[in-house]
Amino acid sequence: MSPTLFSIFINDLSKEIDANLGNLNAVNIGETQIPCLIYADDILLMSNDINSLMNQIQIVNEYCKRNSLDMNFDKTKLIFQNIRYENDHIELNLNNELKRIDIVREYKYLGFWIGNNTKKHLSSLTKNGNKSAYLTAKKLKEIGCANGTIVKNTFEMLTLSKMQYGGEFCFYNKLSELNRIQFQFYKRFYHLITTTANYCLIGEFGLFPLEYHFEKAAINLWIKIIFNESSTIMKRCYNHVSNNLDNSNYSYTWCWRIKHLLKQINLSHLWLDQNSLEINKRKCKIIVKTRLMEHFRAIWINDTKKSRTGIDYLELSQFDCSMKSYLTLNLKLNIMAPLLKLRCRNHDLAVKTGCYRNRLSYDERLCSLCDDRTVETVYHFICKCALYNDIRLHFTPFFVDISKQDFYVMLETLEIGKIVTLTKYINSANSIRADKLRQRPMTS
Ligand SMILES: [Zn+2]
Q: In angstroms, rounded to a whole number, what is the distance separating the alpha carbons of residues 100 and 417?
A: 72
**Average pLDDT, integer, range 317-323:** 94
433 CA → ligand 1 middle, Å:
10
CA of 372 to the centre of ligand 1 (A): 6
Instruction: Give residue 24's pLDDT.
Output: 80
Distance 413 CA to ligand 1 centre (A): 25
More reliable by pLDDT, 360 or 229: 360
Cα–ligand 1 centroid distance for 343 (angstroms)? 18
pTM of the model: 0.88
Structure confidence by residue, pLDDT tens digits, 361-380: 999 999 999 999 999 999 99
Instruction: Give the highest mean pLDDT range of 49-58, 238-247, 381-390.
Output: 381-390
DSSP code string of 369-399: SSSS--B--HHIIIII-GGGHHHHHHH-GGG
CA-to-CA dists, residue 165 to 35, 161, 177, 182, 221, angstroms: 25, 6, 15, 15, 13
Report how far ligand 1's centroid is from the alpha carbon of 376 (Å). 6
Q: Which of 49-63, 107-121, 280-294 has the highest mean pLDDT?
A: 280-294
Query: How far is the C-alpha of 285 from the C-alpha of 332, rounded, in Å?
Result: 36
pLDDT for the residue numbered 444: 45
Comparing 255 with 232, the larger pLDDT belongs to 255
Ligand 1: centre distance to CA 1 (Å): 72
Residue 133 alpha carbon to ligand 1 centre in Å: 40
Distance CA 189, CA 136 (A): 10
Residue 407 gets the label, from left (phi > 0), alpha (psi -120 to 50) or beta, of alpha
Q: CA-CA distance, 17 to 66, in Å (whole number)?
A: 15
Q: What are 119-146's pLDDT values in tens digits?
A: 888 889 999 999 999 999 999 999 888 9
CA dihedral over 89, 94, 96, 99, signed as positive or negative: negative
In this predicted structure, what is the pLDDT of residue 252?
85
Any idea what the Cα angle at residue 220 is, between residues 214 and 169, rounded to 5°? Answer: 50
Q: If you average pLDDT over residues 382-395, what whole number do you get?
A: 96
CA–centroid distance, residue 382 to ligand 1 (Å): 10
Å from CA of 354 to ligand 1 middle: 14
199 alpha-carbon distance from chain centroid: 15
Which band of pLDDT confidence, cut at 50, 70 and 90, is reported for residue 10?
Answer: confident
Residue 383 Cα to ligand 1 middle (Å): 10
Of 225 and 31, more confident: 225
Among residues of the chain, what percentage have pLDDT more than 90? 56
Mean pLDDT of 325-333: 92
Dist. CA 373 → ligand 1 center (Å): 8
State phi, psi for 109 to the nearest 5 degrees: -120, 120
What's the CA-to-centroid distance between 377 and ligand 1, angstroms? 9
Task: Provide the strand spans (E) within 9-121.
Answer: 27-29, 32-34, 36-39, 42-45, 77-79, 89-94, 97-104, 107-109, 112-114
Please give the distance, rounded to the nearest whole angstrom, from the Cα atom of residue 291 to the centre of ligand 1. 43
Residue 442 has pLDDT above 50, yes or no: yes
Closest CA to 171 of 121, 124, 128: 121
What separation in Å is there between the alpha carbon of 193 and the centre of ligand 1?
25
Q: What are 114's strand-pairing partners?
A: 107
Q: How, if at all, do strands 97-104 and 77-79 pair?
A: parallel
How many CA within 13 A on the CB side of residue 223?
20
